[in-house]
């Protein structure tokens, strides 16, 4: 599934997950409000709320009613672990098959990088 064919809330979730893993949103730090992120990304606030609800269900953010949403302790490590597993299980096999078809050598690509 290409990035463009994924539902908008999953693309927003990926965007926020990347920001958490990259350290732009650190543990204990407040996330942008639903309205602020919707305005920034040109998305419907309900779509942003759905993305945030998934984070909350996964225990990656904590909600303080009337205050805001915060990155939960260990969220970056858990996201990184889940993304690593998904990459190795889903993306890497496809990438390796394509490299074989194209006659590309992984060691040579890494050496050239």
Q: Tens of pLDDT along 77-102?
A: 999 999 999 999 999 999 999 999 99
Q: CA-CA distances (angstroms) from residue 63 to 32, 35, 50, 98?
A: 12, 15, 14, 43
Percentage above 90 pLDDT, the chain:
81
pLDDT of 86 reads 93
In a domain, 14, yes or no: yes
Task: Domain count for the chain, please give it.
Answer: 1
Can you list the positions of beta strands (E) in 1-113? 61-64, 68-71
For 1-28, write each residue's pLDDT tens digit. Answer: 556 678 898 999 999 999 999 999 999 9
In a domain, 74, yes or no: yes
What gap in Å lies between CA 52 and CA 34, rounded to an integer?
8
Domain of 63 in residue numbering reads as 8-112
In a domain, 47, yes or no: yes
CB distance 27 to 74 below 8 Å: yes
């Amino acid at each position: 599934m290409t990035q463009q064919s994924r539902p908008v809330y999953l693309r927003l979730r990926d965007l926020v997950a990347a920001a958490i893993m990259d350290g732009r949103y650190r543990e204990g730090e407040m996330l942008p409000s639903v309205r602020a992120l919707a305005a920034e990304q040109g998305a419907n606030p309900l779509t942003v709320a759905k993305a945030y609800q998934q984070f909350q269900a996964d225990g990656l953010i904590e909600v303080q009613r009337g205050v805001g949403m915060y990155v939960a302790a260990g969220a970056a490590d858990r996201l990184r672990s889940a993304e690593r597993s998904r990459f190795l299980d889903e993306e890497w096999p496809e990438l390796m098959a394509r490299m074989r078809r194209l006659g590309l050598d992984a060691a040579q690509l890494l050496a050239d990088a």
